[in-house]
Amino acid sequence: MDYDVSSPKFVFGAKNIKTHEGYMITFLDIPNIFAKGVTYEETVYYSYRVLSNFLTPLIGKTESIDKYTFHRVADMDLTDDSFYSLILATPDLDPHKMETSFILPQTTADHVGQEADALSKLINYQNIF
């Protein structure tokens, strides 16, 4: 079943971590599932698949899926090798329709550019130190 792109989407919080081997994405409100990959793009794709596989048995049970959506962050333990993002999913939980949005802290216009540049280097696996 196709869904209208303007229909409400589920929003899932994710913590993205650069590791020595590549990347890891964990879900803020879904314990015990994660995705690992060598490149950031690969890891994002795996995170969509893992999320879809975990939630597919709940399709049509909006209240059950809502329990796993982004509500709050328990701790903000970010490092220079990590950042938060939001994963948006359509009600059919199709991993090919999922999208990631990055979260940048509120700051001055100049600093937003610096944050975006650092994020770009991090996801391109460049040393940001």
Cα torsion angle, 89, 91, 93, 95, sign: negative
Report the pLDDT averaged over residues 75-91: 84
What is the pTM for the complete model shown? Answer: 0.82
Strand, helix or coil for residue 90: coil
Question: Phi, psi (5° rounding) for residue 46?
Answer: -65, -35
Q: Report percent pLDDT > 70 for the chain.
A: 88
Structure tokens at 111: 């600093």
Q: How many CA atoms lie within 13 A of 73 on its CB side?
A: 13
Which secondary structure element, helix H or strand E, spans residue 31, and what is its range?
Answer: strand 30-37
Residue 100, CA distances (Å) to 25, 29, 129 in order: 12, 16, 25
How does pLDDT run across 92-120, given as a tens digit for each residue?
A: 999 999 999 988 777 777 777 777 777 78
